[in-house]
Structure formats: C-alpha cells, structure tokens
Amino acid sequence: MNQKGQQIIQMARTLVPKRIFLFFQPFYHKVLAWLSAFVYRFPSQQLTVIGVTGTNGKSTTVEFLSEIMEEAGYRVASASSIRFRIADHEKLNDTKMTMPGRFFLQKFLRLAVRDGVTHVVLEVTSEGIEQFRHKHIKFDIAVITNITPEHIESHGSFEAYRTAKAELFRVSPVHILNEDDKETYAFLSQIHAEKRLSYSLQKFPKTMRLRLPGDFNRANAMAALTAAEAIGIPIEVSKRVLERIDYIPGRLEVIQTRPFGVVVDYAHTPDALEKVYKELSAPRLICVLGSAGGGRDKWKRPEMGRIAARYCASIILTNEDPYDENPVEILKQVSTGFSQSPTYSQKPTHYKLILDRRQAMSEAFGQAQKGDVVLITGKGCERYMAGPNGEKTAWDDREVAREELQKLDAEKKNETTADRRAS
C-alpha cells in the first residue's frame, strides 16, 4: 500500500469506530484489488505468472528462477524485496514492502506486457494475501520455500499465518512443494492441484556445484530448478545458471574477506538467523544484531537474542527500523533472550548496546581480529531506515560497512606511519 493509501486508512481509523472499520476493511481491500486490475485491463491474463511464497528464501528463489528463465530464452519480469525487473530494466525495491500495493502490482504487470514479457515471477507474502493484493492476478504456478513462525501477531496465530500462505495454492493450478518441510508439505498436499511437483535436498544433483553456501541456498536452488522443470526448461540449463550465480544482494553478501571477514545478511527471523550463524565458521563470530519495531512480531526478539548468545562470541545490539517504538526497549527485549541460551552458564554473553548503527559496525570492526567474521543482520540491501512518524533515513548496511572499513584502514595506515616516524 502506498503512503496515500496508508494515510486514508489512518484517517478512517480515527473517524470510524474500530469495530465498524474492521468489518468494512476486507471490502475496501477487495474493491481496490478489482479496481486496480480493471484500470490496467487485467494484464496477468496475457502472462505466465509464478508466485513464490514462504517465510525465508523467497527473494533468492525469485532471483534464481528469473535467471534460469532468461537463460532459456524467455522475456522475464520479477518483483521481490530486492528489486523490480522488467526485461533489461530494473529498479531497487525501496518501498519497504516485499509485495507492494494492488495498483503498483497491476501497473507493473501491464508494463511487463507492453515490454513483450511472457513470464513473471512475483514474491508473495501472507500480509499481501490478507489484503487481497494477489486477487485478479492469474497465477499459473505456486512455489513454497518453507514456513516457520512469522507475523504471528499480525495474523493472530501460526495456523492463520500458514492458512494465508496456502491461499496462493488455492488459486494456482500447478504446485511446487518442499518435501523437507514435512508439516507444510502435508498441509498443502491436501489442496487440489492440476499438477504437483516436489523438491528436496535429497534430490540435489550430485554434479551441481553452487557458489552460494548453505543448505538453505541449495534448497532455494532446488525450488527454482523444480519450477523451471514445470515450465519445461531442461535441467542442464538450470544447472548452468545456478552454478554461475556468485551472490544475491544482501543475502550472505561478503563485503570483505581479509584480515577479517565482513558479511551482510537480511536474516530477520529466528529460523533464518540460526541458519546463517551455523553457516559461518570462524574462530570468533562478532554479530551486529537488532530487531524491527512497529509492533512487528515482538515474540521473536528474545528468541533472536537466545540464538545469538549461542553462536556469537560478541554481540553489538543496535537500531533497526524502530518505526514508532522506543529502540532501546526493543533491544532490551532482545537481550532478555541471552540468559535463555543453553550455553549461557558456560559462556556468559559479551555484548554492547550501541544505538547508532554506524557506530555499532565500527565497534564490531574494532573488535575483530585476523580470521574473525563480523556478521551484520536484519537489513540486507534495504535502502533506508524506518523511524517514527513515517520518517525514512537513507541507509545501506553494505555501503556503510565499506565506509567504516575504509576509515579503519586509513587509521591503521596513519598509526603505522606515525610509528615509523617515531622510530
């Protein structure tokens, strides 16, 4: 939803009793969904649309699948939390929304049609489905990566969250399911499909060598490879593409390797955070960690603290999209999880709370020694920080990390020069 739409809803909330507002809210979303499709003349009817949903790995899977289809000769468009692409044109996603509003999506699809695109890959979220942003988009294939607890407070329960995800499969004739996610696989298998394909890490081709590390990336690659198979793309084409991809923006993106490593990752859920921590091996892992505000999943804050305390030698708690919440209180809630770590009695958590995210990075780099890895999580390649009253501050973890590393390098060179002169 764009800023104007949010302002309209906020005004309605102040003028209309909450009970009445909630009653009419679904109708409002449905009308906007139909109206946007009508204005742009139902563009998805002229496209093959693949929807990718799940808790983690959606953006990476969208990127993988888009590259595969382009290699196979299709003219492709894609929309994810990373970027919007229509054939050779792309724009970074700076909306702070994985699945933008209805008018945005329908216009995006209409522009894709005008540009001769035949296949579109869309990242689909549970909250987008709740607001009917998927309505009047003709989905041909639905792909699931995984489902772990997320947006519980927004949906009311994990079951409601999972049910929202399932709606994408109810409107798609072809389903791509993850066998390794047993509960989700059983749940979605009960939904009718004209064609159903499944993937598993056990089916990962022994001859395929991914440059991207981690079982989670291998699982995302299998999801994309299987969706490509459903379209009719030979596995040899998919393998060739997947083997040459060496990074996804903001997803385990390596900023520096020596003398210590610096990695930026989008991980913002407990499941994703633990998978990333497990993947990075180093004498010491120094973690720059925060948690988003805005009432978003407060339950996960201590859980992320618990996980960080288990894997990190040192933790720097810092600001991360506080919205209208008190950022210090958010970080205090994260820190309550430290004592819940199974290793807490043997290894008390060493941490600092530095609200300024730039200073937090500088502190982490200052602590790092040769062979260590500094991991900065939560924002990935996002382009700004979200503060109170809709405030947006330009920000990019990757750019700031590079700037601070350059400062550190310059300081060390100056110290070396001063030492030489003194001697």
pLDDT at 11 over 80: no
Side-chain-side CA neighbours of 75 within 13 Å: the count stands at 13
- For the chain, residues classed under CATH 3.40.1190.10 are 3-244
d(CA 391, CA 395): 12
Helix (H, G, I), strand (E, B) or coil at 123: strand
Query: How does residue 200 score in pLDDT terms, banded at 50, 70 and 90?
Result: very high
Structure tokens at 307: 């996980």
pLDDT at 25 over 70: no
Average model confidence (pLDDT) across the chain: 91
pLDDT of residue 1: 44
pLDDT of residue 183: 85
- Report the first-to-last Cα separation within the chain, whole angstroms: 63
- Average the pLDDT over 205-211 and give the result: 94
pLDDT of residue 2: 47
Of the candidates 394, 329, 331, the one whose C-alpha atom is nearest the C-alpha of residue 360 is 331
Share above pLDDT 90 across residues of the chain, in percent, rounded to a whole number: 76
The Cα-based distances of 148 to 29, 199, 208 in angstroms read 26, 18, 28
Of the candidates 180, 165, 19, the one whose C-alpha atom is nearest the C-alpha of residue 99 is 165
Helix (H, G, I), strand (E, B) or coil at 41: coil
- Average the pLDDT over 126-147 and give the result: 93
Of 3.40.1190.10, 3.30.930.10, 3.40.50.1100, 3.40.470.10, the CATH number of 3-244 is 3.40.1190.10
Q: How many residues does the chain have?
A: 423
Strand partners, 352: 316
Of the candidates 243, 230, 170, 252, the one whose C-alpha atom is nearest the C-alpha of residue 204 is 243
Share above pLDDT 70 across residues of the chain, in percent, rounded to a whole number: 92
Beta-carbon contacts of 18 under 8 Å, excluding residues fewer than 6 positions away, are none
Of the candidates 47, 83, 45, 44, the one whose C-alpha atom is nearest the C-alpha of residue 67 is 83
Please give the class, per CATH, of domain 253-411. alpha beta
- For the chain, residues classed under CATH 3.90.190.20 are 253-411
User: What does the pLDDT look like over 259-308, one tens digit per residue?
Assistant: 999 999 999 999 999 999 999 978 899 999 999 998 778 999 999 999 99
Handedness of CA 23, 27, 30, 36 (dihedral sign): negative
Contact criterion met (CB below 8 Å) for 117 and 238? no
